[in-house]
Amino acid sequence: MQTPMLQFEKVCKTYPSPQGPYRVLDGFDLGVHKGEFVSIIGHSGCGKSTALMMAAGLLDISGGYIFLAAQEITGPGPDRGVVFQSPSLLPWLTALENVLLGVDQVYPHGTRQQRRDIAAYYLTRVGLGDSLHKKASDLSTGMKQRVGIARAFALKPKVLLLDEPFGMLDSLTRVELQEVLLEVWYTEKITAVMVTHDVDEAIFLSDRVVMMTSGPKARVGDILKIGFSRPRSRKDVMEHPDYYRYRGRLIDFLEGAEKKPVEEPKADLPSSSKNKNNASQPIELGESLV
């Protein structure tokens, strides 16, 4: 059996409190395979972001282990690219300079021009080719988040960790950046784990959706495999009958309803609107809606 790229084994996290130790996570087990996109959903306070930050090496682990490429995680490192909910940019630097902060650390032996080319390439991929030299303070929230996504991919990490990356955006910008993320991720094939509260976002982006029980002592409650083929078109995903089956299953879990088995998709998504009666055709690249 293939060793997961990212492995959580019996992970626990405990915080001190006036009432005594408060255990947020208790026995969190999850394996994420190379090239897989996994979303984690659950109610507020269930430890979703806590698990992600421990994988990033930004929080200590109270118990258990987290492995990346079979190596135990003991602290932060450039082998993990992190995109936070709030854009974490230095406002006095340009978009290019913010991305270069990471690129310079990962590619110390490259020439200055090579490093600039890498940063500019990923900024262009996320739609900021004309804003390379704008200061972060002059960018909109959506543009700042694009810089954060570009910076994470530019590191060429082994795993991408996304902590509600679109949570602060308006609905139109959110949809647009979901498409941007999916397009770049599909090209790069970097293992990705995303925390989200958005059921529709999780279905559209993911290969699997991990559902967490409510805290305290939260753990993995169930895992839903998303059977849609890639690349994906939002229109075709939302028109496919399995979409509503998946959505209902996730909402039932979040509402505490009794677990119901989910049928595997009967067919892949159609390649375009011209092939809606032939669901065995894969989706063609470039048909995503913005």
Q: What would the pLDDT profile of 37-72 be if each residue is shown by its tens digit?
A: 999 999 988 999 999 999 999 999 999 999 999 999
Residue with tokens 């897989």: 36
CB proximity list for 71: less than 8 A, separation 6 or greater: none
Q: What would the pLDDT profile of 159-203 be if each residue is shown by its tens digit?
A: 999 999 998 899 899 999 999 999 999 999 999 999 999 999 999
Q: What would the pLDDT profile of 273-288 be if each residue is shown by its tens digit?
A: 434 333 333 333 333 3
Predicted pLDDT of residue 269 = 54
Domains contained in the chain, CATH given: 1-79+199-290 (3.40.50.300)
Closest to 159 in 3D by CA, of 83, 81, 52: 81
- Report residue 32: phi and psi, to 5°: -115, 120
DSSP state of 80: E
3-state secondary structure of 190: coil
pLDDT-based confidence at residue 87 (cuts at 50, 70, 90): confident
The two three-digit tokens of residue 247, written as one number: 């959505």
